[in-house]
Amino acid sequence: MNTNLTRRQAITTMSAATAGLAGLASIAPASTLATLNLGFDESTSEYTLPDLPYAYKALSPHIDPITMTIHHTKHHAGYVKGLNKALKQLHAIRSEKADPGTLQHWQRQLAFHAGGHINHTLFWEGMSPDKNNGGVGGGDPTGSLAKAITRDFGSIEKFNWQFKAAAKSVEGSGWGWLIYEPISKRLMITQMQNQQDMMFAGAIPLLGVDVWEHAYYLSYQNRRGDYLNAFMNIINWPEIQRRYNAATT
Ligand code: MN3
């Protein structure tokens, strides 16, 4: 069975149910992350690796199929495995079946691998094949998101510049993010080191770009800037708008 189709059907069903409650204005808004499929299996309490929403070759020529395949089936799968292992070890420590002195290690492992799993899930779904390849990728944001970007960064061009410059200058491995800060209701651009460091509490991730070398090295080698220029052609702005709507509704 196609996992993504099943998830979309579930979301459609949920939306229909929510529509029936339209009169309840005070109902908690769906968070940006609420519809994200992390492949959590209630029966085993373990996370699984969801399928990509497109084929491995679909983002060509911007990201090559071998990079996509290894990135998803090896790197992302590794974070899912590491997340399950960290949770299992923490359970064992609570049950006094493991050395409590290793708690700090497994807490770090939990943050790193849970971050890796969520970051990559947001990353895959935040991209789409470009318009020449049957997708909706690229172009500029529109609507309320474009207005907010213009308000908070000065213009779409200034946003594009800062987003790429911030991602390009991440030291070592990490991510560039467009986030929503829900308290002052503003968009910001942040850098993330590894899978979890430097992100502040409350930041709601909208758009992320993976700048670990595994994300681009086969095609771009040390030219991270070229990879980031290519990435702009496959941003799924309708999905980022959906996340923005969920964060601000
Ligand atoms: Mn990665």
Residue 14: the pLDDT is: 38
Pairing, β 204-210 against β 186-193: unpaired
Residue 34: the pLDDT is: 73
Between helix 103-125 and helix 77-94 the angle, nearest 10°, is: 150
CATH number corresponding to 131-248: 3.55.40.20
Calculate how far, in angstroms, residue 21's C-alpha sits from the geometric centre of ligand 1: 39
For 91-102, give one letter per residue: b (16+ CB within 10 A) or e.
eebeeeebeeee
Calculate how far, in angstroms, residue 184's C-alpha sits from the geometric centre of ligand 1: 30
Calculate how far, in angstroms, residue 249's C-alpha sits from the geometric centre of ligand 1: 30
Residue 12: the pLDDT is: 38
Residue 244: the pLDDT is: 96
Calculate how far, in angstroms, residue 92's C-alpha sits from the geometric centre of ligand 1: 29
Radius of gyration of the chain (CA): 19
Calculate how far, in angstroms, residue 175's C-alpha sits from the geometric centre of ligand 1: 9
pTM, two decimals, is: 0.87
Calculate how far, in angstroms, residue 28's C-alpha sits from the geometric centre of ligand 1: 32
Using the structure block, give the residue that is written with the tokens 């609570």: 94
Residue 31: the pLDDT is: 63
Residue 141: the pLDDT is: 97
1-23, pLDDT tens digit by residue? 344 444 444 443 333 333 333 33
Domain boundaries along the sequence of the chain: 7-125, 131-248
Residue 99: the pLDDT is: 93
Q: Burial of 159 by CB count in 10 Å (0-12 exposed, 13-18 middle, 19+ buried)?
A: buried
Q: Side chain identity at 59, as an amino acid letter? A: L
Calculate how far, in angstroms, residue 50's C-alpha sits from the geometric centre of ligand 1: 15
CATH number corresponding to 7-125: 1.10.287.990
Q: Which two tokens stand for residue 199?
A: 């992100």
Secondary structure percentages of the chain, helix, strand, coil, to 5: 50, 15, 35
Calculate how far, in angstroms, residue 216's C-alpha sits from the geometric centre of ligand 1: 9
Would you give per-residue pLDDT tens digits along the chain (249 residues)? 344 444 444 443 333 333 333 333 344 445 667 789 999 999 999 999 999 999 999 999 999 999 999 999 999 999 999 999 999 999 999 999 999 999 999 999 999 999 999 999 999 999 999 999 999 999 999 999 999 999 999 999 999 999 999 999 999 999 999 999 999 999 999 999 999 999 999 999 999 999 999 999 999 999 999 999 999 999 999 999 999 999 998
Calculate how far, in angstroms, residue 212's C-alpha sits from the geometric centre of ligand 1: 6
Residue 60: the pLDDT is: 98
Residues with CB under 5 A from ligand 1 (ion): 75, 210, 212
